[in-house]
Chain A
């Protein structure tokens, strides 16, 4: 295997937890609910998954526990914001902090304890294919699942009737309500399913990618995932691209360290966050009247391509995102 295939395989693996988290959040936000608790949810789910898998010696139970934790946190968020009409941002933020602290407290006995991990499982036959074999088919089950999840979520959102209803909840909940969709119960359901996927992301960290548990084990992953969903414009393929770009950047940052030994590691770790801000600014371009005006004043030859480029990059959020549902 040459350098490039190793790199690409590492990117696919490294992005796996982010894929689970962002796909869960994409579903949730497409239905009009922001689950801002991601960072805490991933940490707590990672810790519980590790503890359960260690004590029961069953990886499956570990993953199940993680999904359950994610679903429960999403349920709390849904109850407080959808039923009791508290700000989704406030509830999500508080849950993020609370779950982070819970993971530190409950996880203290498990710090740096060796534990089980998802076994490596190359797919017979396919794994020996030239080029794509080592990139795609020499991973473990969790990573294969992440690869399948993206098309699945895309199919669900854009090729099924369910997906149409779900998107209507995020764009025009009143219209969906008028057509007989129970808005709040359906939002509950989607948020809980999305939360379960976010929880699984935690298990992918603690049982696979960063095996074990330590204080603040998944440094900032949840916040990154939230940003990637925006970067991806709430479209599964683009969100997945964001995850892979981010994973690639992280691996490159690690490599850069050996090239530039004078610069401390941690500086490279924050580099992606700078990129995140720039990218978020780019994504929001079309919503900005000043940009629209400036494009309008460009010479006609340039106007068309610039307009096309900007509308390609930018992606507006679901219209009813984060807003409480008012019965018409």
Chain B
């Protein structure tokens, strides 16, 4: 059930024969058309005008500066997770534990905030990000260890660790780190204002977050596509046994990919704490990790497409927040559209393989 059947790498031997626009656009158009058809059907079935819903879903995030900055603050951690998953997918792993790695990063980011609140903010933030990266990497290495030494599929190890990490966050919020007064599901005490990541004016947009995410993407892009290490990583992903025979330290590369992904997911957790929620809440990941998995699956771990797809997915989610008020329907239609896009992309890929192969 592991690496051999993974098929995320672009297939070098199967370039489109002709350069016509139809050959290049066929797959994306099929995926988009199918996803829109399914989503439209779902919208119609609950009596909503699909056009109005799409207008809000697609353009809602760009309608006001406030919403746009919300979108950027969702896209930043999403980009970090999807970037990290590029590493693990390249190594042929389904790191479903990314949610937990994000949550543990958020918990770890709280440690310096609680221990040394009197440090200068810049130093404190660096400490937070370092702790978050370490925490996320640790959680990912735990899953990698379970996979490599105990033979537990990383899918189940990751899922189990997700629940554990969210349990830990919940315990801390309701237990030792509860607000003075009574414990509350709404989270720990808000951070003092001067410890929030600096924002642009009164908006919630903290430029540091997207900058960090873009930097991570550039670094991973370079590492996976331009270095020997990245080549070995992809070799492990394509065929672990063959890579091992050719002298690639497969176990090491797998552990490194997991740790790298965990570190990036952990930093996404730090952004959630310092830049988005300004506190630790029980559901600190808010599904960003799972969304990151969808992004990575849709782009087949190709770093070129991670940024645009992450931005589009983030804008759907932010746009959908207005749906309940504007049209009286649940906002989860954004998730339906995102999931359908990935499902129909898989369908389109399968169909084209059938036609050309």
Contact = CB atoms under 8 A, between A and B. Distances in A.
Interface string B158-180: 01110110110011001100000
B297 interface: yes
A100 B45 contact: no
B171 A264 contact: yes
B152 A281 contact: yes
B207 interface: no
B226 interface: no
Given A80-B346, A94-B339, A284-B151, A321 B164 contact: no
A274 B96 CA distance: 16
Nearest to A318: B1
Given A105-B335, A263-B171, 10 more contacts: A84-B350, A93-B96, A94-B346, A101-B338, A105-B42, A264-B183, A270-B164, A270-B166, A280-B150, A284-B152
B16 interface: no
Contacts of B146: 277, 280-281
B162 to A, nearest CB: 8
Contact of A84 (B150, B156, B347): B347
B354 to A, nearest CB: 6
Interface residues of A, number: 54
B336 A266 contact: no
B42 A106 contact: yes
Contacts of A223: 159
Contacts of A324: 5
Given A263-B175, A264-B183, A270-B166, A83 B157 contact: no
B342 A94 contact: yes
Nearest to A99: B339
Interface of A: 34, 36, 76, 80, 83-91, 93-95, 97-98, 100-102, 104-106, 108-109, 220, 223, 226-227, 230, 263-264, 266-267, 269-271, 273-274, 276-277, 280-281, 284-285, 287-288, 290, 317, 321-324
Given A98-B343, A280-B157, A322-B1, A93 B164 contact: no
Contact of A104 (B1, B152, B157, B330): B330
Contacts of B164: 270, 273-274, 277
Contacts of B171: 263-264, 266-267
Contact of A102 (B1, B4, B42): B42
Contact of A87 (B5, B152, B153): B5
Contacts of A281: 146, 150-152
Nearest to A76: B343
Given A101-B332, A267-B170, A323 B5 contact: yes
Contacts of A277: 146, 152, 156-157, 160-161, 164
Contacts of B354: 83-84
Given A101-B335, A106-B46, A277-B157, A322 B5 contact: yes
B160 A89 contact: no
Nearest to A273: B163
Contact of A227 (B156, B174, B340): B156
B214 interface: no
B274 to A, nearest CB: 25
26 contacts: A84-B346, A85-B353, A86-B349, A87-B5, A88-B1, A88-B5, A89-B1, A98-B335, A98-B336, A101-B333, A101-B335, A105-B332, A105-B336, A108-B332, A230-B156, A264-B174, A264-B183, A266-B170, A270-B166, A273-B167, A277-B157, A277-B160, A281-B152, A284-B150, A287-B151, A322-B5
Contacts of B161: 277
B36 interface: no
Main secondary structure of the interface of B (DSSP, over half): helix
A322 B152 CA distance: 15
B164 to A, nearest CB: 6
B80 interface: no
B150 A288 contact: yes
A18 B31 CA distance: 34
B231 interface: no
Contacts of B326: none
- Chain B: interface size category: 35 or more
Interface in B313-355: 329-330, 332-336, 338-340, 342-343, 346-347, 349-351, 353-354
Interface in B112-171: 146, 149-153, 155-157, 159-161, 163-164, 166-167, 170-171
B353 A269 contact: no
A271 B160 CA distance: 10
B294 A104 contact: no
Interface in B38-85: 42, 45-46
Contacts of A322: 1, 5
Contacts of B282: 266
B4 A323 contact: yes
A89 B2 CA distance: 9
B7 A86 contact: yes
Contacts of A94: 294, 297, 339, 342-343, 346
Contacts of B297: 90, 93-94
Contacts of A76: 343
B351 A270 contact: no
Contacts of B212: none
B6 interface: yes
B195 to A, nearest CB: 26
B7 A264 contact: no
Nearest to A91: B346
B155 A89 contact: yes
Contacts of B32: none
A220 B163 contact: yes
Contact of A97 (B1, B155, B339, B351): B339
Interface in B267-310: 282, 290, 293-294, 297
A89 to B, nearest CB: 5
B196 interface: no
